[in-house]
Amino acid sequence: MRTPPTVYSQMLPAHAHRRKRLLPDKLTHYSMGLFVLFFGTRRTYDDIAHHTIWMGPRYKDLLADIFDRKILADDFSLYLHRPTATDSSFAPSGYDSFYVLCPVPNLRGAIDWKTTGPLLQDRIVAALADTIMPNLDAVITDAFYMTPEDFKTDYRSMHGAGFSIAPIFAQSAWFRFHNRDPHIKNLYFAAAGAHPGAGMPGVLCSAKVVEKLVAEDDAKAML
Ligand SMILES: Cc1cc2nc3c(=O)[nH]c(=O)nc-3n(C[C@H](O)[C@H](O)[C@H](O)COP(=O)(O)OP(=O)(O)OC[C@H]3O[C@@H](n4cnc5c(N)ncnc54)[C@H](O)[C@@H]3O)c2cc1C
């Protein structure tokens, strides 16, 4: 589960909240949201590598739009993923397969994703077509996207954050949500929002920690 805050605030019975280990939500910093557009193409783009970072014109100001002002800017930076570059089974012969990830404000912003989603898709496709993927608008197929609303609904991620609570100092290492709740028996977290942190290696490490803690607790219960 990406965010232990969702578990504490939405999934536990009210009496458990009294002993919860949870900062007030307004003091918690969350990662940005993600707009992720998945698509195929009716041709291959052999020059595109497995990983591409596509930089927009701004850096710090774009981050301020995303994290502070929480508005959708006119420009963006993108991460473009082409798994077919290393594994051809990701698309039928002669086709290609991609996703493109665009950092956007999480749901603490007031973006209406129902109307914004299709427009942002068009803008991203146009930007890629104008630069590294010529003619993309004519060959794109089977496109669909996820917005922060989907991260909230499908992954129960608080505020639709893409990577759970932000990895700032006061929310990292010991300060991140602990893998074992200190008060609620049998509540363990293996998740992006828990120690040691987001990303697959972090989440897998947190699963290893939980495995150890459960075994420890089991052993104590046997005594
Ligand atoms: C587009 C994208 C690309 C990424 N690329 C990388 C990468 O290259 N490298 C990397 O290290 N990390 C990457 N990440 C981050 C990584 O995917 C996450 O950090 C990781 O998946 C978080 O794991 P999690 O178990 O905390 O949450 P999730 O993967 O969100 O898993 C939570 C699961 O719980 C399920 N669930 C929700 N509510 C309930 C319920 N009530 N009952 C039962 N199940 C429920 C959800 O359906 C979901 O399957 C990427 C993320 C995205 C979105």
Where does the pLDDT of residue 18 fall: very low under 50, low under 70, confident under 90, or very high at 90 and above?
low
Ligand 1 atom at minimal distance to the Cα of residue 151: 30
Residues having CB closer than 6 A to ligand 1 are: 1-2, 34, 36, 101, 154-156, 162-163, 191-192, 198-201, 203
Work out the percent of the chain whose per-residue pLDDT is above 90: 83
DSSP calls for 79-122? EEE-GGGT-GGGS-TT-EEEEEEEEE--TTS---HHHHHHHHHH
Q: Which of 20, 21, 18, 44 is nearest to 174 (CA)?
A: 21
Q: Which atom of ligand 1 is nearest to the CA of 157?
A: 30
Rounded distance from Cα 155 to ligand 1 centre (Å): 7
Computed over its alpha carbons, how large is the radius of gyration of the chain?
20
Mean per-residue pLDDT, 171-191: 92
Q: Exposure string (b/e) for 50-80, b if CB count within 10 Å is 16 or more?
A: eebebeeeeeeebeebbbeebebbeebbbeb
Q: Which of 156, 159, 205, 210 for mutating ligand 1's site (highest number of atoms within 8 Å of CB)?
A: 156
Q: What is the pTM of this model?
A: 0.93
pLDDT in tens, 63-90: 999 999 999 999 999 999 999 999 999 9
3-state secondary structure of 41: strand
List phi, psi (to 5°) of 3: -130, 110
Is residue 20 over pLDDT 70?
Answer: no
Q: Which atom of ligand 1 is nearest to the CA of 34?
A: 53
Query: Ligand 1: which residue has its CA nearest to atom 49?
Result: 155
- Mind listing the pLDDT tens digit for each residue in 101-153? 999 999 999 999 999 999 999 999 999 999 999 999 999 999 999 999 999 99
Whose structure tokens read 């209406």? 112
